[in-house]
Every structure is written in structure tokens, then in C-alpha cells.
Amino acid sequence: MAAALCWAGCGARAGDTAQAGPTTPTAETDGEPGQAGKPDIPADEQRRFEAAIEAVDAGRFDQAIAEFTALAEGRPGHSVYRYELAYAHYKKGDVPTSIEILEALREAGRMDEGVYYALLGNGYDDTDRRAEAVAVYEQGIERFPDTGTLYVNLGIAKARQEDYQGAIAAWETGMRREPMHPSNYFHAARMFAASSERLWAILYGELFLALEPMGPRADEISRLMFEAWNAGIVLSTDDQGKPTVTVQLTSNQPLAAGEQAEDFKLPFGLACEMALAGGLAAVGLERGSLGIAEIAAIREGFAAVWFDGDEPLTDTYPNALLSHHAALRAAGLFEAYHYVILRQGAPAEARLWADAHEDEVRAVLTWLNEHRLRLTADQRYTRPDYAQPAR
């Protein structure tokens, strides 16, 4: 029996949905569906509140709207009932009413959580009032700077305005402000996959999978990463028919002679490409494209240079994800890990490997569930963390 190539015990984050394209994403409403955090609900109303939440989740919007309306009328000063009422209207497709309810809360000074601003901004974005959406998200960020979904949706709105640099800046800021929120990594990975910075499509894709390892978005990122590896490492032949390998994972260019100062260090992306080149030299690739086996071998060669070389790079370029790789290598599970994260890029190869390595599959799934990657603000894991100072 084939071992299941999934991260057992993990579920997709509720409320996140797959988006339409790398440069035309749509707004999302994050967090538990219909819930604004953990509201302080009086005990006698808790059952009604939970039933209304369940009705929204089941698509019984009219029932939910009636219950939330009654709850809100009974407690006019309780903002969460009005937020949930706005959310139910939004899910039903009645966006203007959702906006009206939330604007009344804003006028009353009762936008009590970051998700209130996210939902209001989504309403404006969905009705093509994108400048208003951006203003709402930015106002929400001023009040609730650690709410990751605000950066997600700000980035989406900017991307839909074709402000792609602004979109990336929003998502990368969101990664720093709420490191464990998966959607900023998801959208940034998709954006970078369509650029020359495929390295960051891969790194952000892996970070996303560490946070949201199952579901349609995880499957999409698995395929995207596999494609990024094949687009970034090109196998071909020269005029004499000899195999050649070109690495094109980042736009960083080699430095000209005399450009380095005594205290200068290579840009992170260029250091990664050079370590990959060292890894490629030990692999001996001759195929026209990369499978999971080749990608795993290349990354093992990269890791040998990065961690085990005469001058290890891990101290010069600390990175939370690469440290996670080091722990996987120490456990003897680095190859198996690649069959998990890249399984949707080459499903037939992944199934064959799983059939022949059931013990390794169980071991890596167990390890990944017991050693969840925990990102914190004092770590380095985003592209701006490695920005070179102006000279």
C-alpha cells in the first residue's frame, strides 16, 4: 500500500482560499470563517452565536443574518455581532450592505479588531473601489500593525492596481509583523515565480508549506516550486554535445573586479547561487529536466557547501528555513522531505518513491509534525533581511 504523501494531522488554514493568478489575486477574508478572534460573548448568548457561525459556514446565510441581527439589536454596543452580521452579508454576496454595516462601526469608533478593516477593505476591493480599499487597509495597519491579513489584502489590492513592487513590500512587511500567518508567503511566492527572482518563489513557497501543508493552496505551491527549480536550473548541451548547466534563480549579477570592499559580503541570492553551483558539480546532471530526485541531490550538494564547507556560510547568512534544512539533514530525512514538498510537481515520481520508501515517508511526516517551523521576529527569513547597505 502506498504511503500517503501528506503532512498527517495538518489542515489548511480556514478562510484562506486559492487565488486566481500571480498578478491578479482576489481579496481574502482570513482567520476562522465568520469569527473575529475570540469575542467576549455572554454565556446566555453563546449558543445562539455559535449556531449563527455554523449557519454561515454551512451557507445558510439568511438564517445567520436573522440571528446576528437579533443579537446586535439586543446589545447595540457589542461590535462583534455587527462585524459577524457584515461578514454574513459579505459571504452571501451582498457586499454593499456589508460595507454599510462596517462603515457605521467605523464612524462610531468601534473597529475593534484588524479583521474589521480587512473585511471593509475587501468590500471596497470587490466593488472596484481600490483606492478606498488601500486606504482602509492602511488605516487598519496603523491601528493593528501585527494583523497579517491586512498586509495580505493590501498587497492584493496593490497588485490589482499593477503596483507589483508595492504588493511585494506589503507581503514582506506582513511576514515580519505576523511571521506565522501563511498567506503573505503564498502570494509573494506566486509573484516571484513570475519574475527572475525564482529563488524567493522557492524559499517563500517552502515557508508557506511549513505553515499550511495541506489543501489546494499547498498543492499549487508544490507545483510552483517544482516548476521554479526547472526554470531556474537549465540543462542543455553545448556545440560539442557536452552537457551544460545554467543557474538562473536570482537577478543578482556577479561583481566586477575591484568592486568588493574589505568588509563586503556577497548578496544573499548570489551566495545561494554559488553554493548551488558547488552542489551541481557533485551531482553530474545530464537529463533535459529536473525530477524530484535531481532537485533533492542538488540541494544536498548545496547544503554540503552551505553548512559543511571549509568556510560555512550559515553564520554569514543566518536563515530560519535553511536551519530547518540542517535539522532535517541531521535526522537523515532531507531527501524524503523533498518528495513531500514537491509531490505535486511530479506526482508519478513521488508515488513510485513513496511505494518503495514507506518507512522514510512515515519518518519524515512524523518528524515534520513534531518539529514544526516556528518563525519569530528575531530570525531572518525574508528578502529584505539581506538587503545590502547603501555604499
pLDDT of residue 66: 97
pLDDT of residue 192: 97
> Is 262 buried (19+), middle (13-18) or exposed (0-12) by CB count in 10 A?
exposed
Residue (of 26, 330, 299) closest to 160 by Cα position: 26
pLDDT of residue 282: 64
Classify residue 332 as left (phi > 0), alpha (psi -120 to 50) or beta.
left
Residues sharing a CB contact under 8 Å with residue 55, sequence separation 6 or more, in sequence order? 61, 63, 64, 67
pLDDT of residue 14: 29
The amino acid sitting at 12 is A
Q: Assign 234 to helix, strand or coil.
A: strand
pTM reported for the whole predicted model: 0.86
pLDDT of residue 247: 83
Distance CA 166, CA 341 (A): 29
Taking the CA of residue 100 as centre, how many other CA atoms within 13 Å lie in the half-sphere pointing to its CB?
Answer: 6
pLDDT of residue 310: 79
**Which of the residues in the chain have pLDDT under 50?**
1-24, 29-34, 254-261, 390-391
Sorted by where each starts, the structural domains of the chain and their CATH numbers stand as 43-227 (1.25.40.10), 243-386 (no CATH)
Q: What count of residues does the chain have?
A: 391
